Amino acid sequence: MKVYFEKFKSTIASNTGRWFSTLRDGFAAIDFRDRRVQLSGFLVAMLLVLTGGYYGYLFSRDGRENLATGHYKIAYLQYIGAADGGDPVSQNVIGNLYYLGLGVERDQLLAARWYLKAALKGYVPAQINLGQMFWNGQGVPTRVVKAFGWYHLARNAGNERAEGHISYMILANAIFPNQIEAAKHRYRNLKAVNSRYVALGEKAFLLN
């Protein structure tokens, strides 16, 4: 058992990282001749090995598996790199995690920002999500024209869900005819929306 401890101490001592240096300094004050300490340390070492193996297994899985099984923090780490790199599917996933507060602190404005990145690339699920946020005033001000506009873009891409949202807004008299025309003009195609985004900037585009 002592052999395991000597290897464990040697591993710690060889690492120059701050965390391992701190851990090494703590071990220096321990009497490793005490058999109770040896047993406890051996169990800790085994726990570290098993834990590392478990998280290694989680990282080896597809991000969708981790989302489906509730390992949201791992999923976040798996998706954030691709999201930062501009992948719209990953951006929408990160938006969902922030919207629901899964694996990260809930932040609906940040969710809207991630949805926007994906929506501007033409990713229809993100357009629906952003339309919902403008419709419900979640993280952004309630704006029926913007909500209708994003639904309109998604509908033009053949999304049936967007058609349902539009029908509801019209039947509920939640939007006036002149607002519908304004939304259709501003959100007539993705190029027009991106041009408007560039002209206004992200903050004004989302919050005004």
Is residue 71 within 8 A of residue 55, CB to CB? The reply is: no
User: Where in the sequence is the domain holding 107, given as residue range(s)?
Assistant: 63-207
Token couple for 79? 């998706």
Average pLDDT over residues 19-25: 48
Least confident among 24-28, 140-144, 151-155: 24-28
Among residues 14, 40, 60, which one ends one of the domains? 60
Helix (H) or strand (E) segment spanning residue 45: helix 35-60
In the chain, the number of structural domains is 2
Q: For residues 64 and 81, what is the distance between their CA atoms, to the nearest angstrom?
A: 15
Question: Are both 102 and 167 inside the same structural domain?
Answer: yes
pLDDT at 77: 92
Q: For residues 26 and 20, what is the distance between their CA atoms, to the nearest angstrom?
A: 10
Question: Are both 106 and 120 inside the same structural domain?
Answer: yes
In CATH, what number is assigned to the domain containing residue 107?
A: 1.25.40.10
Q: For residues 112 and 117, what is the distance between their CA atoms, to the nearest angstrom?
A: 9
Q: For residues 108 and 95, what is the distance between their CA atoms, to the nearest angstrom?
A: 8
Question: Are both 74 and 161 inside the same structural domain?
Answer: yes
Tell me, yes or no, if the pTM score tops 0.85. no
